Amino acid sequence: MLILECPYCGVKGEETEFHAGGEAHLKRFGPGSSDADFETYLFMRENPKGVHLERWRHANGCGKWFHAARCTMTLEVFGTYSAQTYEPPQEIKDILTAKRPGWSWRNFK
Amino acid sequence: MRRYSAFAVAREAARFHTGWERAWRSPAPKKKYDVIIVGAGGHGLATAFYLGKNYGITNVAILEKGWLGGGNTGRNTTIIRSNYLQDPSAALYEKARSLYETMSQDLNYNVMFSPRGVIMLAQTEHEVRGYKRTAHANMLQGVETRFIGPEEVKKLVPIINLAGPRYPVLGGLYQARGGTGRHDAVAWGYARACSDMGMDIIQQCEVTGVRSSGGKVTGVDTTKGAIDCDKLGLVVAGNSGALANMAGFRLPIESVALQALVSEPIKPCMDVVVMANTVHGYMSQSDKGEMVIGGGTDGFNNYTQRGSFHHIEETVRALVETFPMVSRLKMLRQWGGIVDVTGDRSPVIGKTPLGNCFINAGWGTGGFKAIPGGGWATAELIAKGEPGPLAAEFGMERFIEGRFIDESVAAGVAH
């Protein structure tokens, strides 16, 4: 059972209180973009063994979307952070570097 | 290979069962093979088997990081059906189902295929309409299914509660030729036949890297050393993303956990497979008498082969409503497997950005039923370098072209 903390309302809850929303930090492509970009945005996924940055919604709480850093091999949640960002904040990166040295996720390190 | 038969049982009984030989060899890997298949699950072994049987390619190694058939092949709920909505899926799954019918004879290995019938319950008006549509589509595809009313459901499944409190049973999509098989035996039977053709099944041999030059695969690095190959087949289900990462490309696939559980064994009470997709639960009774129960997938990426507890609760709650007698059963075991889910819930059988590397993946929650068909199609793809008619629509390029094989509505949750 995952325990997540909503970065907006500060409530800690188990996963039934939240709704998983898939990979985070996707760059969105709209009309006029190339087929390859559109495919990558819609379908291609990192699906890593290890550090995964992902979206969650506090469905049975404040209702807001936020981001989480989690390990797909151990289900350890490294931390949660605001969705209003293009990349994980430095303190999340520091936790990841401490716990998973050499981690990388797309172009983040 | 010494054939299994009634005579063999009698012969061995007369000499205290000292004459049985090992079902497959466990050789050390050679330096080079014509074809390396990564993953000795059902699909990987079936691919190797049909490479040998249909195309005469027998210089093949099947590499397995754990033990043979220990992934999703040994973790599913053994349901076999082909009542899909779209033409390409119906063709592929029906090919698989028809191969299951003669598999025990073809492999000289009893896979206990039991065509006991599969009912998918319709519990909302939408489902009634959807399943009627599927039944009509199946009629055009030459797949024998029909929509049955609640009385016939009750006749086939006496333990069912038609007047469920939330979702009464309004009918069902019935495929009389669907059923179950013995999942381990499918892997073991293929393994024995592959080994007999001279193929090397190498267990405890994890692929750690894919070596390539000039856009072509030259071999793989493994925990048992480097092995060269002319062609590479990736058939690793939940680990497809990790293998693709080693080979340097990405897939339209995410890996999530799917769970199943079995009850204590009880006397025979249900001789069909019942799936209830609205409430997320499906159940059949094994030959041992255990009720085999499957549920829904988790919503998040996961490689741990265990799922969330609340999904078990949801599944059991659904089944208690549908089959009130389940409330008195004790559950014996629960387990999880990592399934590889694509955007349109249809598999990927096709070429990859590396010229001589092919992939069979993305079966999601319903790979077991497709094992012989998937293996047949993947063997054709690897042997000829181009997909045959069965696999033609299942290439990864469908995601660029928008040519989806949308089974997320027809087969969405439970398989």
A44 min Cα distance to partner chain B (Å): 4
Quote the CA–CA distance of B283 and B292 in Å, as a whole number: 5
pLDDT for res B409: 57
B289 and B268 housed in the same domain: yes
User: Is the predicted pLDDT of residue B67 greater than 90, yes or no?
Assistant: yes
| Among the partner residues B251, B301, B400, nearest to A72 by beta-carbon distance | B301
Q: In a 10 Å sphere around its CB, with 0-12 CB exposed, 13-18 middle and 19+ buried, how is residue B342 labelled?
A: buried
pLDDT confidence band for B406 (50 / 70 / 90)? confident
- Residue contact B310–A15, C-beta within 8 A: yes
Nearest CA in chain A to B298: A20
Domains and CATH numbers, chain A: 3-99 (3.30.2270.10)
Residues B41 and B57 in one domain: yes
Size of interface A-B (CB pairs under 8 A): 70
Q: B336 and B193, same structural domain?
A: no
Task: Please give the residue range of the domain that contains residue B294.
Answer: 114-179+254-342
Look at B301 and A15 and tell me if their CB atoms are within 8 Å.
Answer: no
In chain A, positions 26-65, which contact chain B (CB-CB < 8 Å)?
35-36, 39-40, 42-49, 52, 54
- Whether the pLDDT of residue B410 is over 70: the answer is no
DSSP letter (8 states) at residue B163 = S
In a domain, B21, yes or no: no
Same domain, B151 and B292: yes
CA distances (Å), B364 to each of B9, B40, B342, B370, B414, in order?
Answer: 39, 17, 7, 11, 10
pLDDT, position B166: 87
- The number of folded domains in chain B is 2
Residue B393, pLDDT > 70, answer: yes
What tokens were used for B342?
């694509």
Q: What's the pLDDT tens digit per position in A80-91? A: 999 999 999 999
Give the pairing type, strands B281-285 and B290-301. antiparallel
* B315-335 pLDDT tens trace: 998 899 899 999 999 999 999
Residues B335 and B188 in one domain: no
My answer on whether B357 and B325 are in the same domain is no
Per-residue tokens: B14: 């007369």
A74 part of contact set with chain B, CB < 8 Å: yes
Per-residue confidence (pLDDT) for residue B279, from 0 to 100: 85
Q: Which residues of A touch B252 (CB under 8 A)?
A: 39, 43-45
